[in-house]
Amino acid sequence: MEKEPWNSSDEKSKTLKLEDFGNLDEVLKMAFMPINVNSFLEARNILESFVGKLMTSKSGLTASISKKSIKEILSGKAAGKSFDIKAHLKAAVNIEKLFYNAIEKWEFSLDPNKDNDSLKDRKYLYAPMAHNDLIIPVKLTIKEYKDIKAEKRLYSIQAINVEIK
């Protein structure tokens, strides 16, 4: 499979369709997020319970969250990439469900402007999330390291401002 350009992952997310994830009933179940928070502190407290825990997606991909991941996910820079802070916080605290339902529809090349020396791959996965009566995609960035002792790490998330139909 030919890799997509490194900087096209946001645009690609806008082409996702409901059927990419399943039928309407399946997607509605996937998109329902059981946890809501109102602050970054509440989100941090929930995310810290995932440190050291291996998450597995339906497709069998595994990844972990580190304290550094939490710092990145809850940074102003990451939250600013999401179109809505409440959507970003909702995605953060429901990360395990999002990761489980996430698909990797495309493969992307590495960003040549970043330090990729320790990276084997950077994966972008997408999961549906209900927010404000819409189903939107959440992009999850996973870093896969060359060092086989290093696990794949969830690096960041982004709530994309488009409805999945």
Average pLDDT, the chain: 92
Residue 164 lies in a domain: no
pLDDT at site 42: 97
Residue 156 pLDDT greater than 70, yes or no? yes
Residue 5 has pLDDT above 90, yes or no: no
Q: Does residue 4 form part of some domain?
A: no
* Token digits of residue 127: 């999961």
Residue 147 has pLDDT above 80, yes or no: no
Tally of structural domains, the chain: 1
* Cβ atoms 48, 69 nearer than 8 A: no
pLDDT at 120: 80
pLDDT for position 116? 79
Domain that holds residue 95: 9-159
Asked if residue 158 lies in contact with residue 139, where contact means CB atoms within 8 angstroms, the answer is yes
Q: DSSP strand E in the chain: where?
A: 54-56, 62-64, 119-131, 134-145, 153-159
Exposed / middle / buried, residue 28 (Cβ in 10 Å: 0-12, 13-18, 19+): middle
pLDDT value of residue 18: 96
Are the beta carbons of 17 and 128 closer than 8 angstroms?
A: no
Q: Is residue 124 assigned to a domain?
A: yes
Mean of pLDDT values over 62-68: 93
Residue 114 in domain: yes
Residue 63 maps to a domain: yes
CA 112 – CA 58 distance, rounded (Å): 30
- Residue 85, pLDDT > 90, answer yes
User: Does residue 150 surpass a pLDDT of 70?
Assistant: no
Neighbours of 46 (CB within 10 A): 18
Residue-level pLDDT at 1: 62
Give domain status of residue 2, yes or no: no
pLDDT at residue number 149: 66
Q: How many whole angstroms separate alpha carbon 123 and alpha carbon 117?
A: 16
96 domain-assigned = yes
**Dihedral sign for Cα atoms in the order 134, 50, 67, 126:** negative
pLDDT at 14: 94
- Quick check: is 165 in a domain? no
Q: Give the pLDDT score at 19.
A: 97
